[in-house]
Structure 1
Amino acid sequence: MTDLHHLTEPRDAIDHAVVRQTWRLAEPLHGMIYFVPEAHERYAALGLTGRDGYFASRAAAMGAVGAEPVVAAFYNFNPRLVTAALPAAWEKTTPAAVLAARLDAAGAALTRGLGDAVHSPEVAEAAGLARRAAESVTGRSEGRVLFAAHAALPWPDQPHLILWQAQTILREFRGDGHVAALLLAGLTGLQALVLHAASGEVPERFLRRSRGWSEEQWAGAVDDLRHRGVLEGDEPTLSDAGRALRASIEAATDRLAAPAYTVLGADGCRRLAELARPLSRTIVAAGLLDVANGIASRG
């Protein structure tokens, strides 16, 4: 197994703790799109309900793709779940229509969640910083399919939509790097979910059901990871080796995400985080990240 943690850093590398904090504090501004009713309603108007809306909306930037590229890029969903949605979605609508619906839903949800603050100078400043970060890595798309597809989309005009799209691009940049780290760690998509659940950060039930895995499939992955020595106990928890593996994966993910934030420098990252924190808290307080409404959990 290759350990990316010990690879030499670029001379202009930024502190990984700063990178992670900046991403985490801004992430709700993107992530709410998977939970808000505005998205469900707009996808349904195109004939896409439940999980069909999730898979089509996140994959639409790649064009009218079939299930196989989406299984590969999304990494941890049961392939049967994806094949039930794609390519059938493209018989009902087009990627362009889905992308327009998604952006419209994002705008409506942010306006509802942020209220008057959606037009504030803070949103405009955060949008400028996030867009600068996103655009700085458009020439570094190797191996980052979802990032490249989203980075190629035209930019909207309004600051709150620019902020949402920039954070979407940054999220897919980080996500593609995370997939690379998981691959190098020798983990399948299902095993990565099991490892995540064993950390205690997200309930097993939510991860298993939202990604479409059966109890038997989940139990098989648990057995595999126990045999590998990274899980222990009847109610599987991380062993010392499992905690070390998780830490290595997260460190590699941070390292691979860092190039997007280098252009801002530490001060710019801290400013983006400072601006994003109250906006994200407002989004959460408004109920825009209610996991019970998750698109990927429906259907």
Structure 2
Amino acid sequence: MTLGRSAWQAIEPLHAMIYFVPEAKDRFEALGLDAGSGYFASRSAAFGEASAETVIATFYNFNPAFIRRCIPAAWEKASPAQVLAARLEAADAALRRGLGDLVASDELVELAALTRKAAEAACERLEGRPLFAAHAALPWPTEPHLQLFHAQTLLREFRGDGHLAALLTAELTGLEALVVHAATGYLPASSLRKTRQWSEDEWAAAVTVLQERKIVEQGEELALTEAGAALRQGIEDHTDRLAEPAYSALGESGVNRLVELGKPLSRAIVEAGMLPHLKKK
């Protein structure tokens, strides 16, 4: 496992929770934004008043019609600055709830410093990473738990932009990439299709294309072929390589320390039920 993958897996819940917690939902609703609009607006607000086309390009696997229903209409209800403020307020409240006493711990302060060092190293490699670059221009929060959230946001988008490059290299459309993901069995195809707002006919058409390319096979369950598994692994390996510049700044010992510090904090988030697709342990 690469340095970047081990670090990402250890602390991803500290960012990913923002897409599920009621603290975010309530604040976006107060701005007049429903679930879809709140998601697209909050993640793209760093661009300013992003167009639907910008969101389609940088979010990759959502149905463009879904995005166009939400963007740019969201900006008529709330400014990007308001959305960004609401998101940070939500992160503050959610992390305080999920982490409890850990939110003021020395371990969190140390982890925040490590992730910030990695994120700032990533800022030296802006080229080809538009969503990351937009977030990199935002000011750093002052409190350690919010610095940790911001740093992990940057690292997540840095990795994500690299992942899109890997998907493009593999010649997968957004929907096809989603079908390949479903074929790994990590998340149900029905859930991925529904949350990204693809119709059953659109999904079936993409499955047919991927069957013709010998990437997936459809029996009782959708599954990867041997060639498809190799393609998927290649995409993940490519993504890992592109994420390495951030974590190489920490070195092996620094990443190991990040993982050691991050796992208990991430476990607290999961055990608080803040990531419903993950089982509490």
| TM-score normalized by the length of structure 2 | 0.97
1:146-169 C-alpha deviation (Å, 9 max, x unpaired):
100001100000000000000000
Q: Which moved more, 1:135-144 or 1:107-116?
A: 135-144
Greater shift, 57-66 or 232-241, is seen at: 232-241
The CA distance in 1 between the partners of 2:277 and 2:28, in whole Å, is 18
1:124–1:159 CA contact under 8 A, matched in 2: yes
Query: Following the alignment from structure 2 to structure 1, what is the Cα–Cα distance between the partners of residues 39 and 12?
Result: 17
Q: Write out aligned runs for 1:91-102 (5 A).
A: 91-102=76-87
Match of 1:59 in 2: 44
Residue 177 (str. 1) matches residue 165 (str. 2): no
> In the aligned structure 2, how far is the partner of 1:291 from the partner of 1:62?
29
Displacement after TM superposition at 1:139 (Å)? 2.4
Deviations 1:91-138 (A, max 9, x none): 111000100000010010000001011000010000000000001121
Paired residue secondary structure (2:127): coil
1:10 aligned partner: none
The answer as to 2:104 corresponding to 1:129 is no
- What residue number does 1:110 align with? 95
2:122 touches 2:155 (CA, 8 Å); kept in 1? no
Q: Give 2:209's aligned residue.
A: 224
Structure 2: runs of 5+ lacking an equivalent: none
What letter is aligned with 1:163? L
- 1:140-289 aligned at under 5 Å gives the runs 140-234=125-219, 235-289=221-275
Distance in 2 (alpha carbons) for counterparts of 1:236 and 1:46: 40
Q: CA RMSD in A?
A: 1.0
Deviation at 1:202, TM superposition (A): 1.1
Distance 2:118 2:186 in 1: 28
Instruction: State the alpha-carbon separation in 1 of the partners of residues 104 and 222 from structure 2.
Output: 47
Alignment of 1:29-48 (within 5 A): 29-48=14-33
Q: Percent identity, please.
A: 60
What are the Cα deviations for residues 217-247 of structure 1, in whole angstroms up to 9, with x where unaligned?
Answer: 0000000000001112423211110010001
8 Å Cα contact 1:35-1:291 kept in structure 2: no
SS at match of 2:120: helix
Contact 1:19–1:258 (CA under 8 A) maintained in structure 2:
yes
Letter aligned with residue 236 of structure 2: E
State the alpha-carbon separation in 1 of the partners of residues 45 and 246 from structure 2.
23
Q: Secondary structure at the match of 2:99?
A: helix
